[in-house]
Amino acid sequence: TYILAIESSCDDTSASVMCNAKVLSNVVANQEVHSKYGGVVPELASRAHQQNIVPVVQQALAQAKITKNDLSAIAFTKGPGLMGSLLVGTSFAKSMALGLNIPLLDVNHMQAHILAHFIDEEGSKKPNFPFICLTISGGHTQIVKVSNYFDMEILGETIDDAVGEAFDKSAKILGLPYPGGPLIDKYAQLGNPKAYSFTKPKVGDLDFSFSGLKTGILYFIQKQQRINPNFIEENLNDICASIQHTIVEILMDKLKNAVKQTGIKEIAIAGGVSANSEIRKRLINAEKHFGWPTYIPKFEYTTDNAAMIGITGYLKYISNMHADINVTAKARLKVTE
């Protein structure tokens, strides 16, 4: 079974070809246009998707060494995401499925971040049901109980900002370009994580809050800059390491609460922030010290990519969960829908 998958929910255009649960190609075109605006500009994103989608799909097919006539089905991201961006992928997938007369598979982007763990890769282990997934991305921060591929329950989530936003907004305060998460990670490698301390939020056992932390960081930096105008420049590594450490501590505390509450020890992470080197390290340690079987996605399946849409599409295909041709994109969509 060959499935073509298309992901266009935010600012990356991606296409992937799967052979069953194996990835034959996974092409991602990043959109450079947004970095100078300090965030994704929706109108520019959908226009860039329109320009990228045909070459990206062609490249994915070429790398997989198949033609469109070999395809068994087309999978696409239905939501959640930016409406203008989603519509480009949705209409492309629909017309291609219609033209080839093959099934269409609609994929929930948040389920796909989690189900990326089921991609068949040499040396990768798959989580056993039920497992707990900490989904940490640009728009979401959730603790999800995964009982089966399409049987998920949200146990806790952020009441304000997502953890990816906390990284990106902190980076912005430090004058770093968007998206700043990977840059904080980079500078943090050379810094002291205990140099500065920031107050952790007080919210429910399995819930998150990051807006207070962001304000705390902003006030701290403004105060230090008044004393020494070169404060950021001179201490960038230590500041980044301390911010990252605080965020990762919050995430680890919540995972411990989730294990205590549910008795489930199989722990996975998913989403763009699961690319972060400190959370990855802490999870490997947790396997050693707490005996949790932990699952960390391969780096290229953390931030947005079409392979995760492809594996989810494949899991739907083998269960005959085809989409109706009248299916529409949905800007808001829960992981449980």
Q: Is 51 helix (H, G, I), strand (E, B) or coil?
A: helix
* Residue 304 is labelled as binding a ligand: yes
- For the CB of residue 190, give the shortest distance to ligand ATP in the complex, in Å: 15
Binding mask 178-197 for ligand ATP (x = CB under 6 A): -x-xx--x------------
Q: Which partner, ligand ATP, Fe ion, none, binds residue 179 by CB below 5 to 8 Å per kind?
A: ligand ATP
276 annotated to bind ligand: yes
Residues 6 or more apart in contact with residue 296 via CB below 8 angstroms: 268, 269, 274, 280, 283, 284
Task: Specify the stretch interacting with ligand ATP by CB under 6 A; choose among 55-63, 87-95, 164-172, 254-262.
Answer: 164-172
Size, binding site for ligand ATP by CB under 6 A: 24
Among Fe ion, ligand ATP, none, the one that 182 touches (CB under a kind-dependent 5 to 8 A) is ligand ATP
State yes or no: residue 137 binds Fe ion (CB under 5 A).
yes
89 touches ligand ATP (CB under 6 A): no
Q: Considering the complex, what minimum distance in angstroms separates the CB of residue 77 from ligand ATP?
A: 10
Interface mask (CB under 6 A) for ligand ATP, residues 261-290, using x and -?
A: ----------xxx-xx--------------
Site string for ligand ATP, 104-143 (x = CB under 6 A): -----x---x-----------------------xxxx---
Is there a binding annotation on residue 247?
Answer: no
Burial category of 288 from C-beta neighbours within 10 Å (exposed 0-12, middle 13-18, buried 19 and up): exposed
Query: What is the Cα–Cα distance from 24 to 21, expressed in whole angstroms?
Result: 10
Sheet holding 2-7, edge to edge: 22-30, 12-19, 2-7, 73-79, 104-108
Report how far residue 104's alpha carbon sits from residue 327's, in angstroms, rounded to the nearest whole number.
Answer: 9
Closest CA to 134 of 96, 99, 163, 107: 163
Tokens 């509450």 belong to residue = 261
Q: Are 264 and 131 in contact (CB under 8 A)?
A: yes
Tell me the CA end-to-end span of the chain in Å, nearest whole number: 26
Check: CB of residue 17 under 8 Å from CB of residue 66.
Answer: yes
Give, as ranges, the residues between 67 and 126 that touch Fe ion (CB under 5 A): none
CA 22 and chain centroid, separation: 20
7 binds ligand ATP (CB under 6 A): no
165 is a contact residue toward Fe ion (CB under 5 A): no
Q: How many CB atoms lie within 10 A of CB 203?
A: 17
Q: Is 289 annotated as a binding residue?
A: no
Distance CA 333, CA 48 (A): 23
Please, what is the minimum distance in Å from the beta carbon of residue 120 to Fe ion? 21
Would you count residue 304 as binding Fe ion (CB under 5 A)? yes
Residue ranges at the known binding site for substrate: 135-139, 168, 181, 185, 276
Binding site for Fe ion (CB under 5 A): 137, 304
Binding site for ligand ATP (CB under 6 A): 9-10, 80-81, 109, 113, 137-140, 164, 167-168, 179, 181-182, 185, 271-273, 275-276, 303-304
